[in-house]
Amino acid sequence: MGRKLLLEHINVPGINTFEVYREKGGYKAVEKAIKTMSTDDVIEEVKKSGLRGRGGAGFPTGMKWSFLAKPEGVPRYLVCNADESEPGTFKDRYLMTHIPHALIEGMIVASYALGANTSYIYVRGEMMPQIRILEKAIAEAKAAGFLGENILGSGYHLELYVQPGGGAYICGEETALLESLEGKRGNPRIKPPFPAIAGLYGCPTVVNNVESIATTVPIINIGGEEYAKIGVGRSTGTKLISASGNINKPGVYEIELGVTVEDFIYSDEYCGGIANGKKLKAVVAGGSSVPILPANLILNTINGEKRLMTYESLSDGGFATGTMLGSGGFVVFDEDQCIVRNTWNFSRFYHHESCGQCSPCREGTGWMEKVLHRLEYGHGKMSDIDLLVDVSKKIEGNTICPLGDAAAWPVASAIRHFRDEFEWHVTHPELAVKQNYGLAHYADPLPAPVEA
């Protein structure tokens, strides 16, 4: 069994309450940080841990904290990005639902380290149950003296607020989140300036993911050097993985970084193998925005070695043969799944969620959706396949925020690794439609074509 730091007490009855969480060692990290450590000491421990952002980018958390500007007389803010909107990712929601005080404790520790006296948890607007759970947990922590004025007699004070999100995927991008938090439309900002210099209300701000902030608790408890011993190389510690798709045991798992992908998929400790005795076809390893990989590449690196659940191993070979750990949204496809249909579904999502600020994303995501719809519904042409590749290249790297890249990468990688399946949709349109939509006869009328 791998080591558990965040989900160790997940099955303890009442762990969502302050009393039980406290009995299991909760808020010791706050006591240790505020009573025995300086703010720089806390940041240094997070640096030593090697913790990398768990929201997708994987940027070193301690380094990000150290970039925060500290001008005199200007407030600083910590904002938790709980706008979990990536298709295939649900580990933050799970953590907030079952162990909300882990996030609250992490917010206090991180806010203290950053010198923030007002902090926010920005939660996806559809997650109303989680919003209520967090508000209750905040009230409990405040009643116990861990929030508000003069925390633990230290002179440090912190107010923590939960803010419902705008219900848009784009608000998961940190600058769009800040715009939304300020009451504006959630459009990404042009950078620089970066939030560490001019973030919320123009003040220095750090934006971190739920899991990243919660992980600061075990780091302070056991020490950064001890935390860094877990994992492999620069991929230190544990990681929450949202596992879904054609597996026997979907759910949220905490792994030690360095577990092989093969073990994660097939071991009884985690996914328990492919459902219904089917064969593995492909995996989206880090949420819908990362490149899809076929079975042979996700199970082995370009050197023939087993691929690991780490930032480095999954990206081995670049996008030609690799992918990204991303947000940990691990989606498994068996041999019966249609890659064209899946790719079209992802493209529908990104077209719908584009904020429209950048022309390549606003127009390109729509074109990709239309062309994929045409292929999926039996009206595609061979030239459409190269057209999709061309459009994806024109989107990638040409937008203010990464949503354009997130839309382009799944399409480009699907064609790169499964081009024969796209071509089959062109040469066998009736069969393709029947396979995916259960038409009784090949001769059934196909849906009307969509012009690109």
**Residue ranges covered by each domain of the chain:** 18-228, 238-334, 339-437
Which of 239, 263, 262 is CA-nearest to residue 58?
A: 239
Query: Does the structure show a pLDDT above 80 at 241?
Result: yes
Query: Does the structure show a pLDDT above 70 at 429?
Result: yes
Q: Which amino acid is at 197?
A: I
- Structural Rg of the chain based on CA atoms: 23
Query: Does the structure show a pLDDT above 50 at 388?
Result: yes
- 140 close to 21: Cβ distance less than 8 angstroms: no
In this prediction, residue 242 carries a pLDDT of: 97
Distance CA 318, CA 145 (A): 49
Q: What's the CATH class of domain 238-334?
A: alpha beta
Query: Does the structure show a pLDDT above 80 at 302?
Result: no
Fold designation for 339-437: de novo design (two linked rop proteins) (1.20.1440)
pLDDT band for 445, please (50, 70, 90 cuts). low
Q: Mind listing the pLDDT tens digit for each residue in 328-366?
A: 999 999 999 999 999 999 999 999 999 999 999 999 999
Overall average pLDDT of the 300-310 stretch: 88
Average pLDDT, the chain: 94
Q: For residue 333, list its beta bridge partners.
A: 282
* Matching residue, tokens 């739920």: 210
- 49 close to 137: Cβ distance less than 8 angstroms: no
Query: What is the percent of the chain with per-residue pLDDT over 90, rounded to a whole number?
Result: 89
Dihedrals φ, ψ of 122, to 5°? -95, 105
The half-sphere exposure of 176 on its side-chain side, counting CA atoms within 13 A, is: 24
Look up the pTM and report it: 0.93
Q: Mind listing the pLDDT tens digit for each residue in 102-112?
A: 999 999 999 99
pLDDT band for 442, please (50, 70, 90 cuts). very low
The half-sphere exposure of 134 on its side-chain side, counting CA atoms within 13 A, is: 29
Q: Mind listing the pLDDT tens digit for each residue in 158-205?
A: 999 999 998 899 999 999 999 999 999 999 999 999 999 999 999 999
Distances (CA, A) of 411 to 98, 202, 343, 347, 364: 35, 37, 6, 8, 12
pLDDT band for 439, please (50, 70, 90 cuts). low
Domains 18-228 and 238-334 share a fold: no
Tell me which CATH homologous superfamily contains domain 18-228.
NADH-ubiquinone oxidoreductase 51kDa subunit (3.40.50.11540)
pLDDT band for 119, please (50, 70, 90 cuts). very high
Distance CA 75, CA 134 (A): 24
Query: Does the structure show a pLDDT above 90 at 144?
Result: yes
Query: Does the structure show a pLDDT above 80 at 1?
Result: no
In this prediction, residue 7 carries a pLDDT of: 97
